[in-house]
Structure 1
Amino acid sequence: MVGVFRRSLSFPNKPNTGRPFPPPSKPRISHHTRSISLPCRSHPLISHINHEISQLKSWSSFSAGFSCTSAWISDGLSLLKDVHETLSDILHLPQSQESLRKRPIFFENLLEDLLRFVDAYGIFQTSILSLREHNSAAQVALRKRDDAKISYYLKSRQNIARDIARLTSSIREPKTKQEYCCHVGGVGSYADAELASAIGDVIEVTVSVSVALFDGVYFPLRQARTTPFVGFLKRSEKKERKDEGIEEMKKVDEKSLVGLRKKKDEEVKNLMKRMAELENSMCEIECGSEKVFRSLINTRVSLLNALTH
C-alpha cells in the first residue's frame, strides 16, 4: 500500500511588477512550498481487490428473480477464492502489517472471523462429502427399488441439513464489520482507512456467498413437513424462502423417492437421471468450496504472519 505523498509547487521568488517579462540577464529564482496533504493513488492490490469485490456484489444481485443453480454457486465460490487470495497478498505488505498491528482489536476480530469461516467451511466439506456418499448408495438402492435403503438415505439427508443449518447462524454477524465502522471514523491515515474498508468488504461478501451456499444446499435437503431445521430464520422468512435452494438438488425431493415399487419404469429412469445430475452438481460445489476453504486458511496464515513479523 503506497503511503501519502505531499505535492510540491514552485512559485517565483519575486513577483513581476510593471514589466511584461523578466530581464533576460537575471533568471528567476524559485523555491518550493508544500501544499496540504492529498490522498495518493491506491495501491494496485487495493484497486484490484475492490474490483473483485464489485464483481462479487454484482454476482449476488444477479440472483434476484433467477434460479439458484450449482453453476451460479460455483461462480460465486470462484470469485470469493480470488478475493481471499488477493487479500492474502495485501496482508503480506509491510504497510498493511504495520497498520493492523496498530489496531489490535480490529486485528483480533479479523482473526476470529476468519477462524469461524474456516470452521464453517471445514464442517461443510465433511457434510457435502457425506451427502455424496449417501447419494451414491441411494442410486444403487434406486436401481433395486429398495425402499428401506431409500428411507435411510432420506433420514441421512435430514441430519446433514440440520448440520448445515447451524453454519449459517455461525457466520451471520462477523465482528470485523462492526469494528470496521468504528475504525474508519477514528484517527488514521488514508491508507489505513482504505485497508480497513477493503477488509470490511471482504468479510461482507464472504458472508453473502457463504449464506447462499449453505442455504442453497440446506433448503432442498430439509424435510418438507418439518420447520425446526429452518431454525435460524424468522417466520416471515420461512414462508418466503420455502422454495429456495439449488435447482439440481430440488429435483430430487422426498416425495419423488417414496414408493419406488409402485413407480413405473419410466419414472424410475427419469429419477435416476436426476440423481446423476445431483451427483455432478455436488462434485462441482465440493470442488469450489474446498478452494475457498484453502484460501481462507491461507488468508488467516498471512494475518498471523503479520503479527509475528
Structure 2
Amino acid sequence: MAGRFQRTITFPSPRPDASCTTVATKRSSYRTRSSSLPVRFHPIISNLDDDVASLRSWSESRSSPQAGSSTFLLVGVDLISVVLASLSDLLSHPQAADPLRNSPITDPYLDDLMRLADSYDLFRISLINLSHLQGETQAALRRWDSARLASAVRAQRKASKDIIRIATRAKAAAKTKPPPPPLEASVSLDSTGVIILPVVFCDATFALAAASAELISGLAVLSNEATSPIAPVVSTGGPVKLLKIWWIVDLMRWKSRARRRAMERKKEGGMERSMERKVATEKLEGLKKCIIALESGSEKVFRALVNARVTVLNILTPSI
C-alpha cells in the first residue's frame, strides 16, 4: 500500500512584464514548492521586497545624471508595473487570504489603493490634455506665430502646475500604517503570516505612492524644460522706444548708428533664434514621445491597481 504524501502548493516566481525592456534586473524562470504559510523569507515576499527596494532606489535617485529625463521616467513606470505584478502574485496566493482578512489594516488599505487609482486616472486625463497642448505649441513654433506661441506656452505651463497637484495627491494616497508588532517574545508559525503580510502590503503601497509622485512630477518638470527655450523668444521682439532728440544733426547721427546696430543685431538674432527654435523643437518632440509611452504605462498601472483592489474585496467577501 502506498504511503501518504504531503500536499504541496506550486507557484511560479513573479517576472517582469515582457514589455519592460528598461528594467535592468530580470529573473530567470524557476518553480518553487512550498506548503508553509508565506513568511518574510518566502520566495514571493522576498521577490516583492527586492522589487520595492529597486523602486525606492529609483525614486530617491534625484541626483543621478538621467534624473528628469524621459528615459528616467519610463524606467520608473516599468518598475511600478513590476511591483504591482509581484503584489498581485502575493494577493493571489491562497494562504495569504486569511492573514489579510483578519487584519485591521485591510479596509484602510482598500482606501489607499482607491486613492492611488484615482490619481492615475487623473494623470491619464492630464496626459491627453498635455499631448494636445504640446502639439499646439509645436505647430505655433513651426509657423513662428508669436501670439499663438505665447498663448500655447502659457497653457502648457498651467497644465504642468495641474500635474504637480496630481503628484501631491498621489504622494498622500498611502496613509495606512502597518500594525504594531506583538508584545510576546515568541510568535508561533501560525500567526507569522498574520503579522508579516500587512507590513509587506503597507511597505509596498508607500513605495508605490512615493514613486508615483516622483513619476508624475517628473513629467511636469520635463514639460517646463521643453518650453524653456521658447520663453526668451516669446518675450523679445517689442518695439524700440526712441529718445526724443531736438537737434537735427544729432538726430541724423543717432539714426545712422541705430540703423547699423539694428542690422547687426538682426543678423546675430536670426542665428540665435534659429538655434533656439531647433532646440525647442527637439525638446518638444522628445516630450511627445515620452507622453505616448507614459499613456500606455499609466493605463497598465491603473488597471493593475484596480485589479489589486478587486482581489482584496474578493478576499473580504469570499464566494460561497
- Show the counterpart of 1:71: 71
Q: In 1, are the aligned partners of 2:153 and 2:227 still within 8 Å (CA)? A: no
Q: Structure 1: how far apart are the matches of 2:64 and 2:285?
A: 27
Which residue, 295, 298, 301 being the options, matches 1:292?
Answer: 301
**Matched residue SS, 2:284:** helix
- Show the counterpart of 2:49: 50
Q: In 1, are the aligned partners of 2:166 and 2:216 still within 8 Å (CA)? A: yes
C-alpha distance after superposition, 1:180-209 (max 9, x if no partner):
0x3444788211222112111111111221
C-alpha distance after superposition, 1:61-99 (max 9, x if no partner):
333353321111211111111111121121122322211
1:249 deviates by: 4.9
1:114 deviates by: 0.5
Change in 2 beyond 3 A, CA 1:63/1:160: same
Change in 2 beyond 3 A, CA 1:183/1:176: farther
Residue type at the aligned position of 1:290:
E
Runs of 4+ with deviation above 6 angstroms: none
- Show the counterpart of 2:202: 200
Structure 1 length normalisation: TM-score? 0.70
1:165 deviates by: 2.7
Change in 2 beyond 3 A, CA 1:82/1:186: farther
* Count of aligned pairs: 243
Q: Percent identity?
A: 27
- Show the counterpart of 2:139: 140
Change in 2 beyond 3 A, CA 1:269/1:60: closer
Q: In 2, are the aligned partners of 1:150 and 1:257 still within 8 Å (CA)? A: no
Q: In 2, are the aligned partners of 1:81 and 1:292 still within 8 Å (CA)? A: yes
Which residue, 266, 291, 294 being the options, matches 1:282?
Answer: 291
Q: In 2, are the aligned partners of 1:99 and 1:192 still within 8 Å (CA)? A: yes
- Show the counterpart of 1:84: 84
Residue type at the aligned position of 1:51:
D
Residue type at the aligned position of 1:102:
N
1:251 deviates by: 3.9
**Matched residue SS, 1:68:** coil
Q: Structure 2: how far apart are the matches of 1:266 and 1:96?
A: 59
Aligned positions of 1:264-279 closer than 5 A: 264-279=273-288
Q: In 1, are the aligned partners of 2:137 and 2:153 still within 8 Å (CA)? A: no
- Show the counterpart of 1:19: none
Q: In 2, are the aligned partners of 1:171 and 1:207 still within 8 Å (CA)? A: yes
1:274 deviates by: 2.2
Matching of residue 109 in structure 1 with residue 108 in structure 2: yes
Change in 2 beyond 3 A, CA 1:55/1:275: same
Matching of residue 168 in structure 1 with residue 167 in structure 2: yes
Structure 2 length normalisation: TM-score? 0.67
Q: Structure 2: how far apart are the matches of 1:193 and 1:164?
A: 37
Q: In 2, are the aligned partners of 1:147 and 1:259 still within 8 Å (CA)? A: no
- Show the counterpart of 1:216: 218
Residue type at the aligned position of 1:79:
L
Aligned positions of 1:115-194 closer than 5 A: 115-174=114-173, 176-178=175-177, 180=178, 182-185=179-182, 189-194=191-196
Q: In 2, are the aligned partners of 1:85 and 1:299 still within 8 Å (CA)? A: no
Q: Structure 1: how far apart are the matches of 2:183 and 2:295?
A: 41
Q: Which moved more, 1:60-69 or 1:285-294?
A: 60-69
1:110 deviates by: 0.7
Q: Which moved more, 1:198-207 or 1:289-298?
A: 289-298
Which residue, 225, 231, 244 being the options, matches 1:255?
Answer: 231
Change in 2 beyond 3 A, CA 1:173/1:271: closer
Residue type at the aligned position of 2:313:
L
**Matched residue SS, 1:274:** helix
Q: In 1, are the aligned partners of 2:83 and 2:204 still within 8 Å (CA)? A: yes
**Matched residue SS, 2:108:** helix
Q: In 1, are the aligned partners of 2:119 and 2:166 still within 8 Å (CA)? A: yes
Q: Structure 2: how far apart are the matches of 1:209 and 1:133?
A: 26
1:297 deviates by: 1.4
C-alpha distance after superposition, 1:47-69 (max 9, x if no partner):
21111112212223333353321
Q: In 2, are the aligned partners of 1:70 and 1:285 still within 8 Å (CA)? A: no
C-alpha distance after superposition, 1:246-285 (max 9, x if no partner):
4x75142262451587763343233222221221222233
Change in 2 beyond 3 A, CA 1:52/1:93: same
C-alpha distance after superposition, 1:133-185 (max 9, x if no partner):
1111221111111122223322322332332232233233445542x0x3444
Q: Structure 2: how far apart are the matches of 1:168 and 1:251?
A: 19
Query: Unmatched 5+ residue regions in structure 1?
Result: 4-38, 219-244
